[in-house]
A = this chain, B = another copy of it.
Amino acid sequence: MNINALTVPEPPGGPYLRVIPLGGCGEIGRNMTVIETNEDLVVVDCGLMFPDEEMYGVDIVINDFTYLREHRDKFRALLVTHGHEDHIGGIPYLLREFNVPVVGTALTIALIKAKSRDHKMIGEANLVTVKPGDRVRYGSIETEFVHINHSVSGACALALRTETGTVFHTGDFKFDQTPIDGRPADFASIARIGDEGVLCMLSDSTNAERPGHTLSERIVGEAFTNVFSHAKGRIIVASFASNVPRIQQVIDHAITFDRKIAFLGRSLTNVVHFASELGYLSVPADRTMRVEEIEELPPEKVVVMTTGSQGEPMSGLTRMSVRDNPRLKIVPGDTVVISATPIPGNEKGVYKTIDNLYRLGAIVVHGTDGRSHVSGHGSQEELLLMLNLVRPEFFVPVHGEYRMLVQHGKLAQRTGVDARSVFVVENGDVLEFTKDYGDKVGKTYGGHVFVDGSGVGDVGEAVLRDRRLLAADGFMMVVVAIDSEEGRLITGPDIISRGVFYMPDAGGVMEELRAELTALIEKVSLEGIRDVNTVKEHVREGLAKAIMARYKRRPVIVPVVMEV
């Protein structure tokens, strides 16, 4: 069968299991996986992806929920591994259509709730909090939450037990032998689940190209110690708001080096609030201060934590770097620690921020040099360890661009997984498992859905193509009124242009263009052409040619011909 055509065969007779990654395979972000049996369907994660520069005007990218609509009656629950945007960002949109319980650990649920400001849906949703080790049953599918390490607290892998067999989904993970919260991954449970037998494992491929072992979060502490013991002025640390272990390390260093800490930025203060309330974070009240209090302390007594480690335009650090942050101004002597590495695509923004901070006289320590950041994703040695602990019969690398999935698939084979049992799949590929076989049997909707403003899915390729053309060369509009009898010009041509060239300088040219178009329309009229659309076409072509000849540009041209 042609498994590229969009086609999903009828389920086989007898018990079956389907595993369908709807996002996150072949790209970074919008992670989402369907786990389906004869009677029941659960979804693991529902993330968002940030648009690339080709997706003009798109705010976020979410998954296509078509397959879920087609199986609405079986859809029992959404199980969430952890609270990062690429795993929870699509939930508000999912809840608009599906009233299913959303299940995760306390901090994960808190981070989902934090979205309720923007999306009331979530306020009314059925949010179920679990602890690592808990088991929940939805329909015939029992799911065990297993503690693993990641760059956000409360992250879990999931073991989903079905009649056909167990699916083990690692979520995002690393194996940190010396984590800040003192709780390494639950090796015992993972090993036990492996012993019980795992039919299919889905595993995080983000660092599948990286040899060796990802460094422990504790290494960042050493970098911080180095910075804190040398900095003469204020210390400003930028990281991801959700990186609770990182926040804890900054707090701990503030205490050790007798500085007071302030948190700048809504998302960050939210997380600090939730996380400490839930016991993920210990923040001694007497060591913290409000941003307004910073000025009252000498520089060497101040630590500020903020967001903007990715050079996001409106974030705390980025605004500081261009003197646009009313709450904190960078001054010479400040030490800025960017405790993150740029996500592919963000490099330019991050480096621009770093350059601007240098211009303001700050000392800048960034993740790309030194060790002020470590990844939250396991490298090859950890991926191999996970494979050896779980020893799955079938393996599906997920969460990565295509080359990473290929690489991860090769790693699996090195641990003894049969080459034919490794499925390097793309979004929407349908994997089917029964007692007798496991195979890729079809393909369903795994595409992008663009969210622009309040519109979901109404911006597609056609609209983006128009925006691309407009972005490249702007548009020109010609307005003329002709009389319906003889098609003679009555008013106009008026030419309106945006983004084509600098109008004030183009005065002479505009006159020429008007003259040319007037002549053109008269010619068309003399030729006895009356049909408005034909006239329009002539005007469009005429103007396009004239602009191309003069400027080698191709603006979008909109002729408006009115009959009066």
A residues in contact (CB < 8 Å) with B: 26, 52-53, 56-57, 209, 344-345, 347-348, 351, 354-356, 358-359, 364, 369, 401-403, 406, 452-455, 458-460, 462-464, 466-475, 477, 479, 481, 490-491, 494, 496, 498-502, 505-506, 550-553, 556, 558, 560, 562, 564
Contacts and interface: CB of A to CB of B under 8 A. Distances in A.
Contact of A551 (B53, B455, B494): B455
A413 to B, nearest CB: 15
A26 B355 contact: yes
A440 B472 CA distance: 39
Contacts of A496: 558, 560
The 4 residue pairs across chains A and B that have the minimum distance between CB atoms: A453-B552, A471-B471, A466-B499, A470-B470
Contact of A505 (B57, B458, B464, B472): B458
Main secondary structure of the interface of A (DSSP, over half): mixed
A345 B402 CA distance: 20
A28 B402 CA distance: 30
Contact of A460 (B356, B481, B502): B502
Contacts of A553: 57, 452-453, 455
A470 B453 contact: no
Nearest to A347: B344
B481 A562 contact: yes
A416 to B, nearest CB: 23
Contacts of A505: 458
A437 B367 CA distance: 40
Contact of A403 (B351, B403, B454, B471): B351
Contacts of A53: 53, 348
Contacts of A475: 470, 475, 498
Contacts of A558: 477, 496, 498
A501 B459 contact: yes
A428 to B, nearest CB: 15
A423 B168 CA distance: 59
A347 B343 CA distance: 10
A93 to B, nearest CB: 15
8 contacts: A57-B553, A356-B402, A453-B552, A455-B501, A458-B505, A458-B506, A463-B501, A481-B564
Nearest to A494: B560
A50 to B, nearest CB: 12
Contacts of A469: 499
A498 B466 contact: yes
A479 to B, nearest CB: 5
A503 to B, nearest CB: 8
A254 to B, nearest CB: 26
Contacts of A552: 453-455
Given A359-B402, A454-B552, A502 B56 contact: no
Contacts of A348: 52-53, 344-345
Contact of A355 (B358, B364, B402): B402
A366 to B, nearest CB: 9
A344 B344 CA distance: 10
A96 B466 CA distance: 35
Contact of A358 (B354, B406, B477): B406
A407 to B, nearest CB: 9
A322 B292 CA distance: 55
Contacts of A477: 477, 558, 560
A479 B481 contact: no
Contact of A471 (B458, B470, B500, B562): B470
User: Which of A471, A550, A552 gathers the greatest number of chain B CB atoms within 10 Å?
Assistant: A471
A467 B458 contact: no
A403 B355 contact: yes
Given A351-B403, A364-B403, A455-B551, A56 B471 contact: yes
A293 to B, nearest CB: 31
Contacts of A351: 344, 401, 403
